[in-house]
Amino acid sequence: MIFRCFYTGILFVFVLQWSNALPISKITTHSIELTPCELCNLLLPIAKDLIAQNESSLMEKLGIILCQYLHLADDAVCAGMINEYNYVLIEILRYSPLSTYEICGVAFDCLRQADIPALQWNVTLPPPTQLLFSSSYVSSKHLSSKYILSILHLADLHIDLEYKPGSNANCGRPLCCRDGIPKSSELGAEFWGDYRTCDLPLWTAESMLKYIVQNEEQIDFIYFTGDIAPHDVWQQTQDKDLEEISFTTRLLKQTFPNKKIYPCVGNHEAAPPDLFPTDNISWLYSNLASQWIDQFGLDEQTRDTILKGGYYTTIILPKFRLISLNMNYCTENNYWLFINSTDPLGQLQWLIQWLQYAEEHQEKVHIIGHHPPRMCMVSFSWAYYSIVNRYQNTISGQFFAHTHFDEFMLFYNETDSKQPISIAYITPSFTTYPNINPVAVLDHRTMILNLTATNLYNTTKFIKEYSAKSAYSMKDLSPQEWNKFVLQLENDIDGETMGLVYQYFMKSSATGEACDRICRMKLINCNLKTARAQDTTFCFEI
């Protein structure tokens, strides 16, 4: 999800990428039309000069004035966002080795990161060892029933405790359905949730979780891949985030008292959201370590790396290891990486060490994280892709979130783009934000809460949306079968099956736009077949 909200300080605009709440592509002032990147390149040097002259205190006040003058957001959002991010952006402009042109290019995605030397790095991979298994995927027909596991994958809950039925659902802020009176021509926020710019009411989330407990008795354990706080990004504080984390942890523990829950860190767990420094964030990690160990039941041995950077590894079953990554250290939305993006906290090198250990001890590994790797900075993304290639026989599952859509990503052999080697699942969101039905993913069966019917009949209406194997007539869910399915879609791009794929991608939302041929081609080539950032192997200019 990408918010487009501008941070400014004396004619300085800095894009913060959150969602489609403010999809600004150009700014027009006095008949001069500029793209955000052009405006950034024009104004960023002025901001740097102010910092050099110790006049940075002016930036917050002048930034708010300019934000309001350009109508980039309402007064409260302008003041809140700039107040939250002022210190961080000043520090980044003061210490980043990147030039003005490079900072703007990365922030606005108008410059290839491969052309920026300071962002280029790689990891060292050990040579392969003798393997017991030749493939990372083991079909269920080769396993006895006691080894077939059912995993509940939850992500992007974004429960809004301030949701108010009947309030303004089209308020112009990054999050609505909290206050205000709707226009006379518009309906107010509906009781069970709303397709507009709103997160999920608590009672709807509780009903969804209750449905899972009552109808899915075979869940063995749960992956919770992050994002707790609602999208009120202009008013996030450390205390508020910690309260929301504690509340959601208790809710999940009370709902699933006898299930192990394996979490990872979402971008909304930080305050301000997205910004994860490599130090001075103990306020978050010490809290997560306590809650994940005390409430979710993680092993005590996970504490050290959780305290260091919000990541860990643990054994789920004999010969079955989980690695939970903090993918917030991979994305350009984490502007601290503009100072140093080289394998922050040594997390990828740590990942390699544990995959090497798993390979040598003949363990299979699942990897969970919040951001999908194609949404990472280029060097991190391509290094991760190389790691998956190297340990394809050890990694048997990858699970991500963040996009709010129902997707999968294929990984291919780095030297043979026709050979699939791994598959990653991107689970859809619990929240309706933006304009989609909330869901819970069980194995790869997807249930949706039909929000239209729920509000109409004033009771929650759940629907089994689809099962991947039966809907797509697949023998199994191996990378090879997924690749075969994608090739079928390419050969019948206008067919009904491709229409189903888009429908499920959008979680059967009735509010989404139709997907034409170009839209379908982009979904295949830029989503399903692309797992590396700025990779044009498949995602060419359409």
| Cα–Cα distance for residue pair 356/122, rounded to 1 Å | 17
Q: What is the pLDDT of residues 133-189, one digit of tens each?
A: 445 554 444 444 456 788 999 999 999 999 999 999 999 899 999 999 999 899 999
Q: What is the pLDDT of residues 360-412, one digit of tens each?
A: 999 999 999 999 999 999 999 999 999 999 999 999 999 999 999 889 999 99
> Cβ contacts of residue 136 below 8 Å, gap of 6+?
364, 392, 393, 394, 395, 396, 421, 422
Cβ neighbourhood burial of 293 (10 Å; 0-12, 13-18, 19+)? middle
| CB contact at 8 A, 258 and 300 | no
| Cα–Cα distance for residue pair 313/367, rounded to 1 Å | 9
Taking alpha carbons only, the member of 237, 259, 290, 306 closest to residue 154 is: 259
Taking alpha carbons only, the member of 292, 317, 322, 305 closest to residue 398 is: 322
Q: Where are the beta strands (DSSP E) in 392-482?
A: 395-400, 407-413, 416-426, 439-442, 445-449, 462-467
Given a cut of 60, is residue 82 above it in pLDDT?
yes
231 marked as binding residue: no
DSSP symbol at 534: T
404 marked as binding residue: yes
Tell me the pLDDT band of 504, cut-offs 50, 70 and 90.
confident
Q: Where are the beta strands (DSSP E) in 197-355?
A: 200-201, 221-224, 260-263, 312-317, 320-324
227 marked as binding residue: yes
**Per-residue pLDDT at 116:** 95
pLDDT: which is higher, 437 or 62? 62
274 marked as binding residue: no
What are 415's two structure tokens?
A: 């030297």
Domains of the chain: 13-111 (no CATH), 151-163+199-449 (3.60.21.10)
In this prediction, residues 427-447 reach a mean pLDDT of: 70
Given a cut of 70, is residue 62 above it in pLDDT?
yes
Adjacent-strand bridge partners of 320:
317, 364
| CB contact at 8 A, 270 and 331 | no
402 marked as binding residue: yes
| Cα–Cα distance for residue pair 159/156, rounded to 1 Å | 9
Tell me the pLDDT band of 542, cut-offs 50, 70 and 90.
low
| CB contact at 8 A, 502 and 436 | no
**Per-residue pLDDT at 69:** 79
- What is the maximum alpha-carbon separation in the chain? 71
| CB contact at 8 A, 310 and 326 | yes
**Per-residue pLDDT at 445:** 77
| Cα–Cα distance for residue pair 170/493, rounded to 1 Å | 35
In this prediction, residues 73-90 reach a mean pLDDT of: 87
Taking alpha carbons only, the member of 132, 7, 17 closest to residue 59 is: 7
- H or E, element range at 15: strand 13-17
In this prediction, residues 455-481 reach a mean pLDDT of: 86
| CB contact at 8 A, 174 and 196 | no
Tell me the pLDDT band of 31, cut-offs 50, 70 and 90.
very low
54 marked as binding residue: no
Residue 161 carries which side chain, given as an amino acid letter?
L
Q: What is the pLDDT of residues 507-529, one digit of tens each?
A: 777 666 788 999 999 999 999 99
Adjacent-strand bridge partners of 324:
312, 368
For the entire predicted model, the pTM comes to: 0.88
